[in-house]
Amino acid sequence: DVKVTQSSRYLVKRTGEKVFLECVQDMDHENMFWYRQDPGLGLRLIYFSYDVKMKEKGDIPEGYSVSREKKERFSLILESASTNQTSMYLCASTAGQYSNQPQHFGDGTRLSIL
Amino acid sequence: QKEVEQDPGPLSVPEGAIVSLNCTYSNSAFQYFMWYRQYSRKGPELLMYTYSSGNKEDGRFTAQVDKSSKYISLFIRDSQPSDSATYLCAMTLIKAAGNKLTFGGGTRVLVKP
């Protein structure tokens, strides 16, 4: 089974802090994704990466950046956290750059910005 | 208008009933269709994965795709309280860069004992 592990289940940070969310997958997948999930808005794609050191903006990249230095690890960075970034953050991975394989998700990080 | 529309529910059914869920979409280029189940405080887990039109069955779950109507459905037979969750539909293009998915907003389902 594919395992996608997010480093924290719950995180509380203060406004203005730099926040790092980490995600690791164990299946040698090429593609990794970061979403946020909010009630009434569903899953919204923040950034994705289809290879090491490659990244693409999703639908809502503002206020976020990402890093993919190794194939198995994809980090989401909130440069200066704000209260409107309080949300559930989900990481996902999938194999192949154009294989249309379904995405496998981690259990999420519930982030609160005070 | 959203690319993928899904009734948010909640959909409440008695145990043993058939649960019927659906999504409509606007982009006729979508070719791959998925259903995910998400329990409270957990990530989505893949339930069904289908390509193009037709039916697919897996145990108590049946997924249907009608590309001519841009409509997909998920049926859960003999529903159990453990089926209580949010169900998300998702779809992608035939050659989506990075396999990007477009999600519906999810339907919350409650199966009452």
State pLDDT tens for residues B21-58: 999 999 998 888 999 999 998 999 999 988 878 899 99
Tell me the nearest-neighbour CA distance from B19 into chain A, angstroms.
21
**Could you tell me which residue, B95 or A29, shows the higher pLDDT?**
A29
Which residues on A lie below 8 Å from B106 (Cβ)?
Answer: 42
Residues of chain B whose beta carbon is less than 8 angstroms from a beta carbon of chain A are: 8, 31-32, 34, 36, 41-46, 49, 51, 88, 90, 92, 94-101, 103-106
Q: What is the pLDDT of residue A41?
A: 80
User: A4-8+15-96: which CATH architecture?
Assistant: Sandwich (2.60)
Band (B76; pLDDT cuts 50, 70, 90): very high
Sign, CA torsion B85/A5/A78/A46: negative
Question: Could you tell me if A4 and A102 are in contact, meaning their C-beta atoms sit under 8 angstroms apart?
Answer: no
Predicted confidence (pLDDT) at residue B97 exceeds the cutoff of 90? no
State how far the Cα of B47 lies from the Cα of B51, in Å rounded to an integer: 14
Q: What is the pLDDT of residue B92?
A: 86
Band (B73; pLDDT cuts 50, 70, 90): very high
Structural domain boundaries in chain A = 4-8+15-96
Smallest Cβ distance to B46: which of A50, A56, A104?
A: A104
Structural domain boundaries in chain B = 4-112
Predicted confidence (pLDDT) at residue B113 exceeds the cutoff of 80? yes
Q: Residue B5's closest CA among B20, B29, B27, B36?
A: B27
Residue whose pair of structure tokens reads 């249309």 in the numeric block: A100
Per-chain mean pLDDT for chain B: 91
B4-112: CATH topology is Immunoglobulin-like (2.60.40)
Lowest mean pLDDT among A11-15, A63-67, B49-53, B65-69: B49-53
Tokens for B89, please give them. 């539909």
Predicted confidence (pLDDT) at residue B62 exceeds the cutoff of 80? yes
Q: Spell out the residues 6+ positions from residue A5 whose beta carbon is closer than 8 angstroms to its own.
A: A23, A24, A25, A26, A106
